[in-house]
Structure 1
Amino acid sequence: MLPRGPREVRSVESLRELLAPYAPDVSAGATLSARALRGGLTADLTRVSATRPGAAPEQFVIKPVGENELESAAYAALARSGMSDLAPRLLGTTGADGQSFLLLEYVSRWKTWPWRDEPYARMVIEALARLHASRIEWTADSRYDAHLGTSAAYTIDLLRCAAQSFRDPRLSGGVRAVKALAARLPAARAQLLSAPVFLHGDVHPGNVVIRSERGRRRAVLLDWGRARLGSPFEDVASWLQCLRYFEPSAARLHDRLLLHYVRSAGLGDRITAVHRREYWVAAGSNALAGALGVHLSSVLAARTPISRARAMAAAMDWIRIVRRAVAYLDLSGDEPQRPS
């Protein structure tokens, strides 16, 4: 029996069955071991190590498909467009014990936490610019906008619960701000979908590794289970805001990295009012899609004052982003002032 790993993969024999179509030599003659990996949309993510006498160890990742088939469609779309290097290599879709799985290469991290160094944060920006310029054809239905409406309502409920639990007027004000943005979601989404491109959909430090091969380093994006169409600034805002949370020193790089995206994507040589408007509306949409809700859940579940304070600070940051998005949606004129 495996000590850990997907619930559906019960034994080493199951692992051999999964590997057989794509790595028959490994499946037949290697000693296999497995351990659970954290991250992704599912907790059932397993890293498989295969060792054979006289051969270098090989590693794979096995991920259940479940009800979400977007990820396999995303890998196929990337391959058709010559963008496979932006993601782990998909070895195939396989099955065992009545379940379907993605069999992926395991991408080793060149460095566990490279995000204190601006060049590596810029690599992610460049990877996103390449992805968004690829004009990948995407016909899969992610039902994202239906999910967004549900998520916005859930976020409002979480905010109300937190405001009542802690008697915090900042959270009460946050309820009003989130309700205001939720009421404007049709207008916001219409703006963001005016010229849609293919998105990763969940860009944050846990979903990016820096890979080093033959002295060349590049960003690889993991977990494509939220791939969809949308504004490129939805990916950019996700990366910059999450980077700021996980690596506070990156806050000072925000505008430099945003400008780097504008230039890398061929959108101009400066950040215009139009760019800022779309960026902050995209960030507000991300907040209602779950970014704010994650931190509110942490506020409510925190067991220590320190952890609650950290979660509260992150939630308040996202509430400020929501307010900024509302302000931009309400602004008119050719050169709106940047809201504070």
Structure 2
Amino acid sequence: MPDKPSAEVVIDVELVRALVSSQATSIADSGALPLSHVADGWDCSVWRLGEEYAVRLPRRALSAPLVLHEQDVLAGIAERIAVAGVGVPAPVFAGRPGCGYPWSWSIVPWFDGQTGLQIDPEQRRGWARPLAEALLALHVPAPPDHPVNPVRGAPLAVRSAAVDARFVSLSGRSVHDGLEGLRRWWDAALAAPRWSGAPVWIHGDLHPGNLVAEGTRLVAIIDFGDVTAGDPAYDLAVAWLAFDAVGRASFVAALADRYDAATWTRARGWAAAVTLIFLDQSDDNPEYAALGAQALIALTR
């Protein structure tokens, strides 16, 4: 199955230049800074603006509210996570609809480095402690008016139907031999006690594709579109999505006794669920297909 939803608007250099030039007058020379396309994710198109900035624009109506969530809450989150020496793309300018473009958009800091998908798992081991420290700073109780996400941070049972459908979809494919292990961890997570604490801030989509690094050095956590509050287990699934056994042990050890055994059981279940997505929906994205294969091994061997 294909990975990425189709864009619902045409986002080209002329549109991005017009939006920046007409609105971002508070950023010096913004209209004259070099502008180039970087990537299109599931939700947003990303353009580099000069040396210091990126422009982040929703590609479809479903993702338009996510940029507003980032504009509302990322400044405080970035300040907390900075203690770990890890960057967060808190918007420096909040753009609004214009020039025929229908949604809000942002200018955010640019972080030099590579996406974590391009870095070998052995080098990722160096991220374990800073990523753990960043999550310790992030996972604090959120206010009642936090952004709401119907899936991220919610009880695992809300995804049972979708997870079951992916097991069926993959049952006749080459990954079939590993599905029994994924099912075992998913079922154990469903049976584990639910999160009983106050809802804590979570990233909501934490995997190597949303980490920027320079080799062993973790530079930034990006793409907070799914930021919400709830069960931290969703973020802790990164232990299996980003790390090999050595890195995972360092990551878990760096978190000390912050999370109980039930939370780690749910985290492994969420890792299984996300792995199913990568295995089932990455036919047009080899990097995420490879991530799914790596995570399958981490979870089942």
Does residue 142 in structure 1 map to residue 149 in structure 2? yes
Shift of 1:204: 1.6
AA of the residue aligned to 2:151: Y
Structure ranking higher on relative contact order (CA contacts 8 Å, 6+ apart): 2
Q: Corresponding residue for 1:239? A: 238
Which of 294, 299, 307 is matched with 2:278 structurally? Answer: 294
* Aligned equivalents of 2:80, 2:208: Cα separation in 1: 20
1:158 is aligned to 166
AA aligned opposite 2:238? W
Distance in 2 separating the partners of 1:240 and 1:20? 43
Q: After TM superposition, list the pairs within 5 Å mapping 1:53-202 onto structure 2.
A: 57-64=51-58, 66-68=61-63, 69-80=65-76, 82-83=79-80, 85=82, 86-90=87-91, 91-96=93-98, 97-110=100-113, 113=119, 116=123, 118-133=125-140, 135-137=141-143, 138-144=145-151, 151-165=159-173, 168=176, 171=179, 173=180, 177=184, 180=187, 185=190, 188=192, 191-202=194-205
Native 8 Å contact 2:67 2:104 kept in 1? no
Q: Is residue 199–residue 229 contact of structure 2 (8 Å, CA) maintained in 1?
A: yes
Q: Match of 1:76, as an amino acid? A: D
Structure number with larger C-alpha Rg? 1
**Cα shift at 1:241:** 0.9
Quote the offset at 1:193 in angstroms.
Answer: 4.5
Q: Specify the code of the residue in structure 1 equivalent to 2:165.
A: D
C-alpha distance in 1, partners of 2:18/2:245? 46
Q: Would you say the 8 A contact 1:114–1:120 is kept in 2?
A: no
Q: TM-score, normalised by structure 2?
A: 0.71
Please provide the CA RMSD for this pair: 4.0
The 3-state SS of whatever aligns with 1:35 is strand
Does the Cα contact within 8 Å between 2:276 and 2:292 map onto a contact in 1? no
- Read off the aligned partner of 2:137 and give its amino acid letter: R
Matched residues, percent identical? 19
Per-residue CA deviation, residues 1-59 of structure 1 (Å, 9 max, x unaligned), is xxxx994334525523334332354344x1543214154x32x4121334xxxxxx553
Is 1:251 the counterpart of 2:245? The answer is yes
Query: Which residue in 2 is equivalent to 1:281?
Result: 266
Letter in 2 for 1:254: R
Secondary structure at the aligned position of 1:67 is classed as: helix
Following superposition, the deviation at residue 312 of structure 1 comes to: 5.6
Following superposition, the deviation at residue 294 of structure 1 comes to: 1.7
1:49 to 1:98, Cα distance in 2 relative to 1, 3 A: closer
Q: Distance in 2 between matches of 1:310 and 1:136?
A: 31
Query: Structure 1 residues 309, 76: closer, same or farther in 2, change over 3 A?
Result: closer
Report the equivalent of 1:208: 211
How far did 1:131 drift?
1.0
Q: 1:209 and 1:165 mapped to 2: Cα distance?
A: 32
Aligned residue pairs, count: 275
> Is there any run of 5+ residues in structure 2 with no aligned partner, and where?
1-6
Contact 1:46 1:61 in 2 (8 A): yes
- Between the aligned partners of 2:166 and 2:218, the Cα distance in structure 1 is 38
Counterpart in the other structure of 2:3: none
Letter matched to residue 61 of structure 1: V
The verdict on how the C-alpha distance between 1:147 and 1:14 changes in structure 2, with shifts beyond 3 A counting, is farther
Whether contact under 8 Å (1:207, 1:221) holds in the other structure is: yes
Instruction: Confirm or deny: 8 A CA contact 2:278 2:291 kept in the other structure.
Output: no
Between the aligned partners of 1:125 and 1:118, the Cα distance in structure 2 is 12
Matched with 1:16 is 18
Q: Distance in 2 between matches of 1:99 and 1:119?
A: 41
> Take 1:218 and 1:293, find their aligned partners in 2: how far apart are those partners?
25
**TM-score, structure 1 as length reference:** 0.64
Deviation at 1:92, TM superposition (A): 1.0
Is the 2:203–2:227 contact (alpha carbons within 8 Å) kept by the matching residues of 1?
yes
Are the equivalent residues in 2 in contact too, given 1:127–1:219 (CA < 8 A)?
Answer: no
Q: Secondary structure of the equivalent of 2:10?
A: coil
More helix per residue: 1
Q: Does structure 2 conserve the Cα–Cα contact (< 8 Å) formed by 1:60 and 1:105?
A: yes
Matched position secondary structure for 2:132: helix
CA 1:154–1:122 in structure 2 vs 1: closer, same or farther (change >3 Å)? same
Aligned pairs for 1:255-274 (under 5 A) are 255-262=249-256, 267=258
| Alpha-carbon spacing, 1:165–1:205, altered in 2? closer, same or farther (3 Å) | closer
Task: State the AA in 1 paired with 2:168.
Answer: R
